[in-house]
Structure 1
Amino acid sequence: MAENSRVLYASEPALDIAEFRRVLVESGLGETRPVDDPARLQAMLSGANLVLTARLDIEDKPLVGVARAVTDFSWVCYISELAVSRSAQGLGIGKGLMDEARRQLGPSVAISLISVPGAVGFYERIGMQRMADAFWFSRQG
């Protein structure tokens, strides 16, 4: 990624499934997401009611980051994925996506997520509060 490239953040509800898959794989989340199941990836995108993207402001506007969320736009927003291509990690794009989510949702909407272990430090650095009481039923398929 060019150091002086500008990043464009936008809501992209009709994000292309191939672009979504590519960023998941390039971010490392491909190891924990169904990247070889296009129908399930499409269902994941279709079921989200907030899909934010980060694209480089260069000729073909390549996708380098995605935040996929479910929200009521009033009380809470759950971030299902925050994925940034490895080539763009460390450049502020993840924080930019979270800032864009906060901007679009407004100050009255809380944001929650479950972090993969390797990303805990990132969420703490951007000011998210760690919560001890999360609960989970594991997937059965």
Structure 2
Amino acid sequence: MNITYCFDKKPSADQVIELYDNAGLPRPTNDKERIQQMFDNANLVVTAWDNDLLVGVSRSITDWVWACYLSDLAVRDNYKKAGIGRQLINLTKEKVGNQSMILLLSVPTAMEYYPKVGFEKQESSFIINRAEWK
């Protein structure tokens, strides 16, 4: 397995939708335009490729000096446990530098994963939920 990581190769909405559905990441994958906007408006995207196959993505929004919100982390199902998620996080950390924290909201199925890759669980967050997507 020869995985290539890229900062400058943004995947198409179709590639993202297929990856998210395969990885089980709950996103509005039935809304291609919304997925495209999610990537168009992100300012830090790290992708993982096995040749032309998108196998992982880290999508973030950051100011580069204080906070980086890691909004999506997805790895293709049959590529999990190969260190791809960890490397996507490491590359994100490397790119934003030491001045910036990385924060995220975890899906319930990943709550045990994030402490294993260096995140500390916090009890001090608040949320105003979005309207449900259809």
Q: TM-score, normalised by structure 1?
A: 0.89
Q: Which residue of 1 aligns with 2:15?
A: 19
CA distance in 1, matches of 2:65, 2:110: 27
Q: Which runs of 4+ in 1 moved over 4 A?
A: none
TM-aligned CA distance change 1:11 to 1:136, over 3 Å: same
Identity %: 33
TM-aligned CA distance change 1:13 to 1:139, over 3 Å: farther
CA contact (8 A) 2:65 2:99 kept: yes
RMSD over equivalenced CA pairs, Å:
1.2
CA distance in 1, matches of 2:53, 2:9: 17
Q: TM-score, normalised by structure 2?
A: 0.93
Unaligned stretches of 5+ residues in structure 1: none
1:1-141 correspondence to structure 2 within 5 Å: 5-12=1-8, 14-29=10-25, 32-56=26-50, 60-141=51-132
Q: For structure 1, which segment, 6-15 or 107-116, has the greater mean C-alpha deviation from structure 2 after superposition? A: 6-15
Unaligned stretches of 5+ residues in structure 2: none
Structure 1 residue 120, shift from structure 2 partner: 1.2
